[in-house]
Structure 1
Amino acid sequence: MDTTEKWAAVDKERARVADLLDDLSEVEWTHPSLCENWRVLDVAAHLTAGPHMSVLAALKAFVKARGNFNRMVYATAKDLAATKTRAELVGLIRQSVGSRRLAPSQSLDNALMDVHVHAQDIAIPLGRHLPMPVEAAVASADHLWEIGFPFHARRKWSGRRLIATDAEWSAGEGAEISGPIEALVMLLAGRTATVPRLSGITP
């Protein structure tokens, strides 16, 4: 995917997430997501942060989190979830469609992966069907395999070969783990919910 195609995929997924959130009941908003200790509400709040966060706000949040990136992300999401209404969060996600602004220090590849993984973090535990577009999933899998922090997928799955059964994608060497590319993306992102959809790995 080139830059234009990646941005188009980000826009499309943000719009799909906003549509999904618009359809949720109050119970679903407070349902646990696939992210540990995060509700669906918190994930939605996190998705608004990147396109709207200034460098100064990010620096302040980082200092407040005492230099811990994961703590900063968690606290920022929780703060937004506590101060914004459901409608405001959905509105902020819709406003980000068409924006070419990234969070401070974030790459486009990371933004593409982030929105697609978090869309599944919301949809899967709610039993909502939101298929990950194959081309975007392949790009996300490439990114997750190449980066280290925070998932360290290449190190974690050292000695295994991951093979997509519905796309031209594979990585690693060793005993095979195979299945749909979206299930592999979630595995690379540290989620276990899609393991039952994969062969060569025990749930």
Structure 2
Amino acid sequence: MHEPTGRGATDGATRRSDLWACAHAERAALADDLAALAPADWRHATLCEGWDVEDVVAHLTAAASIGRWAWLRSIVGARFRPEVHNRRRLEEHRGPTPAATLDRFRAVVGSTTAPSGHVPAYLGEVVVHAQDIRRPLGIARTPAVDALTPVARFYARQDFTVAGATVAKGLRLRADDGPFDTGAGPLVTGSTLALVMVMAGRAAYLDELAGPGAAVLCERLAPSRG
């Protein structure tokens, strides 16, 4: 997930300050989970292909530390290659030890720095990457539905940091644990978290979805299941 530039509104039903409060709470919860990791866990693979736990944490620190103009300089310097931009910023915010990397992440828990005004996308950055870490490590924690719902709505409306609208196109997505319900077409049901993660391209959550539209999502995410 990389951070494009441009202006964007927050979710219509949620105030900007509330979205940032959710992001801060989710960062704090992740930091608490990370504090309990064994040294070997920091080298564990995540749902982000090619990134271990420490990589993802450093990326989250970078995402909370870069504003619009710094992001523009970075992406231009990377010749508009997001993978190069992400890797450079990740290395910048990785500490000499996992403990130092965690300290750097804790320092940005309350940050409202972002490259644009698309606050639901940056809340989603925290929500999705936290689960990228937790799922492979078997850490059972589900973000609050109040945090997940604006992310789900944002992802379903447009492709931004993830291709959520493309994934959801032509389907009705309905959460069975919250108010998220959008789209028209074959029905897909599941938890708000599973719907968010699948819209973010995480095929590991496909098995948690049901309904006639679930098979469509399996086909769309098939390359990432292999």
Q: Same fold (TM over 0.5)?
A: yes
Deviation, structure 1 residue 59: 3.9
Are 1:149 and 2:160 an aligned pair?
Answer: yes
TM (norm. structure 2) is 0.81
Question: Residue type matched to 1:41 in 2?
Answer: E
* Partner Cα distance (1:176, 1:4) in 2: 33
Deviation string 1:147-201 (CA, Å, 9 cap, x unpaired) is 2134322223322211100111112211111000000000111111111111132
* Partner Cα distance (2:118, 2:165) in 1: 19
8 A contact 1:18–1:94 mirrored in 2: yes
* Partner Cα distance (1:158, 1:57) in 2: 33
TM (norm. structure 1) is 0.89
Q: Spell out the pairing of 1:103-182 with structure 2 (5 A cutoff).
A: 103-105=114-116, 107-182=118-193
Identify the range of structure 1 (47-56 vs 35-44) with the bigger mean alpha-carbon deviation. 47-56
* Partner Cα distance (2:100, 2:117) in 1: 24
Q: Spell out the pairing of 1:32-47 with structure 2 (5 A cutoff).
A: 32-47=45-60
Task: Give structure 1 stretches of 5+ with no counterpart.
Answer: none
Deviation, structure 1 residue 79: 4.7
* Partner Cα distance (1:106, 1:67) in 2: 20
Task: Give structure 2 stretches of 5+ with no counterpart.
Answer: 1-13, 219-226
8 A contact 1:163–1:176 mirrored in 2: yes
SS at match of 1:98: coil
* Partner Cα distance (1:150, 1:116) in 2: 13
Instruction: Return the match for 1:85 from 71, 88, 97.
Output: 97
CA RMSD for the aligned pairs? 2.0
* Partner Cα distance (2:176, 2:98) in 1: 37
Q: 1:95 maps to which residue?
A: 107
* Partner Cα distance (1:172, 1:70) in 2: 31
Q: 1:25 maps to which residue?
A: 38
Q: 1:2 maps to which residue?
A: 15
- Change in Cα spacing, 1:107 to 1:150, as seen in structure 2 (3 Å) is closer
8 A contact 2:194–2:209 mirrored in 1: yes
* Partner Cα distance (2:26, 2:196) in 1: 15
Deviation, structure 1 residue 60: 4.2
SS at match of 1:178: strand
* Partner Cα distance (1:105, 1:85) in 2: 31
- Change in Cα spacing, 1:63 to 1:37, as seen in structure 2 (3 Å) is same
* Partner Cα distance (1:15, 1:95) in 2: 10
* Partner Cα distance (1:43, 1:107) in 2: 21
Question: Residue type matched to 1:160 in 2?
Answer: L
